[in-house]
Structure 1
Amino acid sequence: MTRYLKLRKKALHMLRTELSGDLCYHGMAHTLDVLKVCNGYIRRGKLYGEKAMLLRTGALCHDLGFTVSYENHEEHGIIIALRLMKEYYFTPAQRKVVVGLIRATEVPQTPKTNLERILCDADLDYLGRDDYSRISNLLLKELKRFGVNLTAKEWRQKQISFLEEHRYHTPYAQKYREPVKQNHLLEIKDQLSA
């Protein structure tokens, strides 16, 4: 656990000091939200010891690549995560699990293990929550700051496509997040047709 706590301190410091202020969505708040959601899965699933540590490590590291580049941030994040894990004496097998976790969050998500399914669902948990609109607006603001200019109609169409294509991977998210996500989808479709 000491290894994880040291890595956590370093990763949070990197996010706090190295992320661009233009990252309205992919900022430290998002990483902390994903970590909080993962902790809920850890409690509900009674995940202990190494599995919990690796899931938390994946949550902390999954967007570290944004400290380097907006493009291909997963690959940059993997490089940073490997360096940190080596520094804090994670085993090669543990490093491999975390690399898989980070890679699984790339859209379209392709989780292969239970931990990967959990992290993917935690990463996009907000799609099925009441704060969806607020967080979605942060993403739009971020995209505009990085040169992606969308009209209101184009943004709604993009949201519809994303929500229709997205799938939750865990029974919890399928039961508790998917119905709320479907409501958001209907609302956006109504806005588009108004």
Structure 2
Amino acid sequence: MNFLEILGQVKTHVEALFKADHQKKLVYHNVVHTEHVAKHAVELANFYRLNDRDLFIVVAASWFHDIGYMEKWEQHELRGADAAAIYLTDKGVDADTVQEVKDCIMATMMPQNPKNLLQQIICDSDLYHLGSDDFKDRNKMMRQETENLLGKSIDKSVWRMGTIKLMESHHYHTQYCQDKLNAKKQINLDDLKSKVKKELSGKEIERLQGVERIEGTDNIPDTPRVEYTISVQATPDNMLNNSGAGIAIADNGAKGKKGKKNKDRPDKGIETMFRISSGNHQRLSDMADNKAHIMISTNSIILSVILSILLRKLEDNPHLIAPTLLLLIICVVTMVFSILATRPSVPPGTFTPEEIANKSTNLLFFGNFYRMGLPEYDAGIHKMMEDREFLYGSLIKDVYSQGVVLGRKYRLLRIAYNVFMFGIVASVLAFIIAMAFSM
């Protein structure tokens, strides 16, 4: 089956449906948003190297996932899934593939709960804008569309507070989006909080004290449909601080309760910092390994040439013995340092109950537990997760250890590159001098 050809037909079909729909209310959930979701689904599919069938599933689901909005917003995912099934079945797509497309569309229903990688890709593509530069414009469009659907205006500050709650409860499912979008998403979230903080002063505080919810949005998917209470402290400066005082936003089932932030819960900004740092260190480590591989491969080739060709001719050309030995030594030394840069060290792989009690071991690094039994590791990791200080301490140790290993790798690599660079120059000069004196 030619999945790519059918995808082209799906694209044309959905674009025609949106073009034929003359509703002016859909400012956000329109063909532009659908194109963005499909584009990002392709981006993630390429990163994860999906085969043609899986690529077809996520992209087809992207095109169909919001067409239900053209009728009404309630259960639009279900109508989109049904429309996709009818169209794809008519095109001869097998039942299993059609079902996976439907499952991907249904996975975008809020709150998102994807079951596999394909569903994670469509979910992250659908809310990709939360961590992009387009967030402000897309959020304005979403508010305008919600006002159109409700037939009344929504206070800007009220919408922002609902968006803050939505963003704080959301998380990207794929590692790709976590690494690429979380930092910008945090910036967008901080910007919203800053704007709300500025607005919550004087008369604005008094006016917003009585607001309890964004009325009418309970059945509108993808909107900040939350209930919240607003508690005013002594000064506006206390609003939206790290402890959660000032504004307490609660879920629908907890109306009237103060949304005090759990102090034991890791802060998202700190989590993002650790995630980005670890990711950067891993990429630097991969770069170092690649550089070492280049040095090893290059010098292996040179050694092969020296041993197979040049050494045979030294009896007839004794003046080349010294330059050849120099080049041989340089290649060997370069290879030794390159191998040392990539040679793994093997820690003992054990930890003791005392180390767990003292929080002196890092259970996030395999070298500290690979010889331990599962029950001991399970008990240790649960103790770490329950203790904020232990958890953050382990993350700090992990990042630090990565840095120490990277420092050693790059020091050895620098020596290898310096030996090779200056050694090659010295060898070439030695060959030139030897040839000049032999004439």
TM-score interval (norm. to shorter)? over 0.9
Q: CA deviation at 1:68?
A: 1.8
Q: CA deviation at 1:89?
A: 1.1
Say whether 1:124 aligns with 2:124: no
How many residues get paired? 194
Which AA in structure 2 matches 1:121? Answer: D
Which AA in structure 2 matches 1:69? Answer: K
Aligned to 2:37: 34
Which AA in structure 2 matches 1:145? Answer: N
Which AA in structure 2 matches 1:25? Answer: Y
Cα-to-partner distance string for 1:97-156 (whole Å, 9 max, x where unaligned): 011100000111110010000010000000000110011000001011111632111111
CA contact (8 A) 2:15 2:31 kept: yes
Alpha-carbon distance between aligned partners in 1 of 2:7 and 2:78, rounded to the nearest angstrom: 21
Aligned to 1:164: 168
Greater length-normalized contact order (CA 8 Å, ≥ 6 residues apart): 1
Alpha-carbon distance between aligned partners in 1 of 2:97 and 2:18, rounded to the nearest angstrom: 22
Map 1:138-149 to 2 at 5 A. 138-147=141-150, 149=153
Aligned to 1:74: 77
Q: CA deviation at 1:87?
A: 1.1
Q: CA deviation at 1:39?
A: 1.2
Alpha-carbon distance between aligned partners in 2 of 1:86 and 1:8, rounded to the nearest angstrom: 16
Cα-to-partner distance string for 1:35-67 (whole Å, 9 max, x where unaligned): 111111122111121011111101111111112
CA contact (8 A) 1:105 1:119 kept: yes
Aligned to 2:189: 185
Gaps of 5+ in 2: 199-439
Map 1:78-89 to 2 at 5 A. 78-89=81-92
Cα-to-partner distance string for 1:69-99 (whole Å, 9 max, x where unaligned): 1221111111211111111111110111011
CA contact (8 A) 1:3 1:89 kept: no
Alpha-carbon distance between aligned partners in 1 of 2:99 and 2:164, rounded to the nearest angstrom: 34
3-state SS of the aligned residue for 1:177?
helix
TM-score, length of structure 2 as denominator length: 0.43
Alpha-carbon distance between aligned partners in 2 of 1:164 and 1:193, rounded to the nearest angstrom: 16
Map 1:32-71 to 2 at 5 A. 32-71=35-74
Q: CA deviation at 1:171?
A: 0.4
Q: CA deviation at 1:6?
A: 2.1
Quick one: percent identity of the two aligned structures? 25
CA RMSD between the two structures: 1.2
Q: CA deviation at 1:21?
A: 2.0
Say whether 1:133 aligns with 2:136: yes
Alpha-carbon distance between aligned partners in 2 of 1:19 and 1:49, rounded to the nearest angstrom: 34
CA shift in 2, pair 1:131/1:7, >3 Å: closer
Alpha-carbon distance between aligned partners in 1 of 2:68 and 2:117, rounded to the nearest angstrom: 23
Say whether 1:8 aligns with 2:4: no
Higher helix share: 1
Aligned to 1:91: 94
Alpha-carbon distance between aligned partners in 2 of 1:19 and 1:130, rounded to the nearest angstrom: 29
CA contact (8 A) 2:45 2:121 kept: no
CA shift in 2, pair 1:8/1:47, >3 Å: same
Alpha-carbon distance between aligned partners in 1 of 2:169 and 2:22, rounded to the nearest angstrom: 29
Cα-to-partner distance string for 1:137-185 (whole Å, 9 max, x where unaligned): 0000101111163211111111110000001000011111111111111
Alignment partner of 2:26 out of 3, 19, 23:
23
Alignment partner of 1:155 out of 156, 159, 162:
159
